[in-house]
Amino acid sequence: MDIKKTALAGTLESSDIQITLSKGDNGINIDLDSSVEELYGDQIRKVITETLNAYGIDNANVKAVDKGALDCVVKARTMAAAQRALETTDQPDWEVF
Amino acid sequence: MTSIFATGQPQDIPAVLANKDRRAALQQRLVAAHPAMTVVAAKLNIPGPIKNNRAIQRFFTTELLALERDWLTTGQLFYQDTEWLDAGTGPERFYLVKATPQDVKAQTTRFEEGQASHRLFDLDVLVQRAGQVVPLSRADSGQPARRCFVCGRPAKECGRSRRHTVAELQAAVSSLISAALAVEQRRRVRDRLVAFAQQSLLYEVVAWPKPGLVDPVEHSAHPDMSVFTFINSSLSFRRYLEQAAKLGLSEHPADYPLMFKELREFGKRAEQAMFAATNGVNTHKGAVFSLGIMTLAVADSWRRNGRVDLADIQATVKQLLVGLVQDDLQKQAAVDQQTAGELQYRQYGLTGIRGEAQAGYPTVFDHGLPAMLATAGEWNRRIIQTMLALARYTEDSTLVKRAGDPAILEWKNTQVDACLAAGGVTTAAGRAKLAQLEQEFTAKHLSLGGTADLLIVTIFLTLVKEGLADGLSD
């Protein structure tokens, strides 16, 4: 699936993550800024990549600003950004979640 | 201690995230609309599915008073713009403060660190950065990062790793909030007691007609004072009443004689405040004594029992005043410094207010209170009827002083009996007798000052019984 437009989800509050998705043509590229990068950077990248793949997104540029979000929050915010970028719906499909 | 998490609507992750979006949108709007102000978002960090209920709301609003007090004290102008008090995701409030974000951040951090329970607060100071509204971080203002309230490690680490179970976190939060609410409840009881005490002083003076006492219509028996003197006096020793209430409500050793000693020293300052407010006229010296004791006894009894227990209050008074008559009256004071009560003990063997007080105010508990609780209707009627009941059984030292002869007590009893037999304030005949008594007291220059003090105490206890009995469930 192709990203139709740049989309954003999440806030810069603590325990949240802000995901910005835009078009890319070289796989999933994640630019991660996290306050817990050393401990959880790889895990956050993994959750974002898996969530995007579940939507059939294989190419995207991802900007992620993390403020200590849990995996479930990373997933939920990535889903919201993906659905907005794909112009499917503004609200995430919580059944998938 | 029971958990505060017994009630409330469980929240799921989507609800919490949707609320974050709603909050971010409001914050964006507020920051854009008020460029000269600093936006502060106040919320709580409550882990687990329950994030709001009555206890949490009360904790939130009462503790924020301390933050507002700080702003008021430092002269920072502020107002509350928006409040989401009963949102399922937790209570929130948004302030606009006229100060730089850095200064406000220093204050909010001080608040968060000031008390153990304030650790649960999350006060975001919002700034515009690269086109986005973001909270100023502690690092921005050189503050150390937050610590976990369970184990003291950096909070971010524990939060991300889910090191602690929800049950563990809730237990910690519950005990922090419960402790803060207990302190708050004592503060509210204290405020109520002080208000009741001041109300009782004012209720007494405005009730009419009172033979031999000051009321708004007539005060011929006391030409040196008026109802206005009494209003000034009633408001002059608020601090003393607060000290009495605090003394009883705080955890303290059960050393009642020492507590009374402490109260009496506060009372001396209260007398000075009273004399300053009345240009040297003694309006409430007896009331300072008796109302202070009763406020202390009610507060101490409430702390121990969590409810109003009249028998226990009376027992507490007795414990406070063990040996009062002996200590005060049997020691020989220099004659020129003796009070009316001291002189009358020497001359006639009358123990006056000290005897009444040390016995646990039997006149109040056995005659005044039953009369007041049994009299229905408006306060004036209740107060005057109770005054008669008290006057009948009071060995009134002010009356004896004015008459110069304890035989006056017998005359007073006969007069009051006649008035009560006629129905007191509840019948036309009784009211006629009251009016006649008022004239006679004026003509003979007599006063019922001692009765007035007991009347104030009776009104106070009635207000306590009828107003505090619910344990402040509001």
As a whole number, the mean pLDDT across chain A is: 90
Going by DSSP bridges, is the β-strand pair A28-34/A60-66 parallel, antiparallel, or unpaired? Answer: parallel
**CB proximity A54 to B under 8 Å:** no
For residue A40, which residues of chain B lie inside 8 Å, CB to CB? 160
The two tokens of residue A49 are 């990549």
- B9-27 pLDDT, tens digit per residue, is 999 999 999 999 999 999 9
- Chain A closest CA to B35's CA: distance in Å? 20
Nearest chain A residue to B23 by CA: give it: A11
Please give the pLDDT value at position B473. Answer: 47
Please give the pLDDT value at position B336. Answer: 64
Alpha-carbon span B104 to B116, nearest angstrom:
20
Indicate the domain borders of chain A: 7-85
Q: Which letter does DSSP use for residue B10 in this model?
A: -
Full DSSP string of B181-234: HHHHHHHHHHHHHHHHHHHHHHHHHH-S--TTS--SS--TT-TT--HHHHHHHH
Question: What's the CATH architecture for A7-85?
Answer: 2-Layer Sandwich (3.30)
Q: Is the distance from CB of B342 to CB of B331 less than 8 angstroms?
A: no
- B183-216 pLDDT, tens digit per residue, is 999 999 999 999 999 999 999 999 999 999 999 9
Mean pLDDT of the region B225-246: 97
Whether residue B303 is predicted with pLDDT greater than 80 in this model: the reply is yes
Whether residue B137 is predicted with pLDDT greater than 50 in this model: the reply is yes
Alpha-carbon span B425 to B427, nearest angstrom:
6
Among B394-398, B401-405, B467-471, the range scoring the smallest mean pLDDT is B467-471
Q: Which letter does DSSP use for residue A87 in this model?
A: T
- Chain A closest CA to B24's CA: distance in Å? 7
Alpha-carbon span B234 to B277, nearest angstrom:
9
ipTM of the complex: 0.89
Q: What is the pLDDT confidence band of residue B329, given thresholds at 50, 70 and 90? A: confident
Nearest chain B residue to A40 by CA: give it: B160
Q: What is the pLDDT confidence band of residue B422, given thresholds at 50, 70 and 90? A: very high
- Chain A closest CA to B5's CA: distance in Å? 22
Global confidence as pTM:
0.87
For residue A72, which residues of chain B lie inside 8 Å, CB to CB? 13
**CB proximity B156 to A under 8 Å:** yes
Residue B160 has its nearest CB partner, among A12, A16, A40, at A40
Give percent above pLDDT 90 in chain A: 73
Mean pLDDT of the region B58-83: 96
The two tokens of residue B181 are 């609410």
Full DSSP string of B115-153: SGGGGGEEEEEEEEETTEEEEPPTGGGTPPPPB-TTT-S
For residue A77, which residues of chain B lie inside 8 Å, CB to CB? 17
Q: What is the pLDDT confidence band of residue B1, given thresholds at 50, 70 and 90? A: low
Angle at A27 between CA A25 and CA A33, to 5 degrees: 105
Residue B132 has its nearest CB partner, among A12, A16, A92, at A12
- Residues A33-64 as b/e (b if ≥16 CB within 10 A, e otherwise) read ebbbeeebbeebbebbbebbeebebeebbbbb
The H or E element spanning position B389 is helix B379-393
The two tokens of residue B309 are 């227990």
Residue B14 has its nearest CB partner, among A12, A15, A94, at A94
Mean pLDDT of the region B223-237: 96
Residue A13 has its nearest CB partner, among B20, B159, B160, at B20
